[in-house]
């Protein structure tokens, strides 16, 4: 350890935070002469004292040993600089927690607000890149091993593409997949979803008509067909498609959720409320208590609208 650098930093950080040696001594429960000896390099603080000193001066322990260390406005800002360098999610979480403390105290400066924004921007980029990477890894697998998870990943990836402003790229990609695999209903559902995300409702509707003619017993197509019809305000046709999906058999009463949501949108709250209760009853009977509670919560939200 370079004692000179260490002691100089101790003094520099103390002065930057406007502490006197007496104040530091009181906080650490030592005498003033001890703090003075640390800053002169005569003696060194105990290793267990270093984290406390670092937090007091709002730096990291490593900063004590760096020749070019600078004092930051607060500890949150110091952690933000650490995260900017490492881009490690754990450093991001540490930084956010520290900023939350500043928020509670009402001591956020303009620089703090900017830093809080930028670390989330960095994390957003990290999450998007990671998400795309793992979607690609998923799509490299054989879809036959777990078709449900595989195509769920495809659907989520589609939504991400639109979020990133790359929607038309996905539409083009998916049209090519439908052309090369016209007998795969899941490729058709993905194209319909892509048109929906792009707000190309007529294209989605025409695609649904072609797909349902090819695969008249595919319930997922009819769920999407109902959604598309609802977007086009063709409500009778929407309910007819959802009912068809229910007759064919869905995973978690998807058709009932669609109907309940549509009734809610139409202001027919009583019908929506009753459907959510029906969903909750069915789910609880099947052993899905958590999902049943969520449906009951939806029912209560609709019921509140009935009172209004």
Q: What is the model's pLDDT at position 261? A: 98
pLDDT at site 275: 98
**pLDDT: is 126 or 81 the higher one?**
126
At residue 108 the predicted structure's pLDDT band, cuts being 50, 70 and 90, is: confident
Question: Which domains does the chain possess?
Answer: 1-71 (1.10.260.40), 72-132 (no CATH), 141-231 (1.25.40.10), 252-308 (1.25.40)
Does 2 have pLDDT greater than 80? no
Q: Lowest mean pLDDT of 5-19, 75-89, 220-234, 265-279, name the range.
A: 5-19
Between CA 173 and CA 176 the distance in angstroms is 5
Return d(Cα 20, Cα 32) in angstroms, integer: 9
Q: Is the pLDDT of residue 286 over 80?
A: yes
The mean of the pLDDT values for the chain is 92
Per-residue model confidence (pLDDT) at position 58 = 77
* Segment 167-177 mean pLDDT: 96
Check if the beta carbon of residue 264 is closer than 8 Å to that of residue 272.
yes
**Alpha-helix residue ranges (DSSP H) falling in the chain:** 3-16, 21-28, 32-40, 50-57, 75-86, 89-105, 110-139, 147-163, 167-180, 185-197, 201-214, 219-231, 235-248, 254-266, 269-285, 289-307
Entry pTM? 0.74
* The pLDDT of residue 127: 96
pLDDT score recorded for residue 18:
80
Percent of the chain with pLDDT over 90: 70
pLDDT-based confidence at residue 70 (cuts at 50, 70, 90): low
25-35 pLDDT tens trace: 999 999 999 99
Task: Pick 60 or 25 by higher pLDDT.
Answer: 25
**Residue 69 pLDDT level (bands cut at 50, 70, 90):** low
In the predicted model, is pLDDT for residue 176 greater than 70? yes
Instruction: Decide if pLDDT at 308 tops 70.
Output: no
Using left for φ > 0, alpha for ψ between -120 and 50, and beta otherwise, residue 199 falls in left
Residue 84 is predicted with a pLDDT of 87
> 306 Cβ partners below 8 Å, 6+ apart?
269, 270, 273
């Amino acid at each position: 350890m370079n004692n000179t650098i260490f002691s100089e930093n101790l003094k520099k950080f103390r002065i930057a935070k406007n502490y006197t040696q007496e104040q530091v001594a009181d906080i650490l429960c030592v005498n003033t002469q001890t703090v003075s000896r640390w800053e002169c390099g005569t003696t060194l603080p105990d290793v267990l004292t270093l984290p406390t000193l670092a937090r007091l001066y709002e730096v990291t322990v490593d900063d004590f040993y760096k020749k070019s260390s600078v004092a930051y406005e607060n500890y949150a800002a110091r952690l933000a600089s650490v995260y900017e360098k490492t881009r490690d999610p754990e450093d991001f979480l540490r930084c956010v927690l520290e900023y939350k403390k500043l928020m509670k105290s009402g001591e956020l400066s303009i620089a703090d607000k900017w830093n809080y924004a930028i670390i989330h921007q960095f994390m957003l980029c990290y999450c998007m890149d990671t998400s795309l990477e793992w979607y690609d890894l998923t799509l490299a697998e054989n879809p036959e091993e777990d078709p449900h998870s595989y195509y769920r990943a495809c659907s989520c990836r589609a939504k991400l593409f639109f979020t990133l402003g790359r929607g038309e790229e996905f539409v083009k990609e998916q049209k090519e997949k439908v052309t090369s695999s016209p007998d795969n209903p899941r490729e058709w559902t993905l194209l319909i979803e892509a048109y929906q995300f792009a707000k190309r409702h007529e294209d989605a509707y025409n695609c649904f008509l072609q797909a349902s003619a090819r695969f008249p017993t595919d319930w997922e197509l009819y769920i999407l067909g109902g959604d598309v019809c609802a977007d086009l305000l063709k409500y009778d046709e929407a309910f007819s498609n959802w009912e068809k999906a229910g007759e064919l058999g869905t995973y978690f009463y998807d058709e009932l959720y669609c109907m309940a949501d549509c009734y809610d949108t139409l202001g027919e709250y009583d019908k929506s409320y009753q459907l959510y209760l029906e969903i909750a009853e069915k789910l609880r009977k099947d052993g899905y208590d958590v999902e049943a509670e969520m449906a009951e919560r939806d029912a209560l939200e609709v019921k509140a609208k009935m009172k209004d």
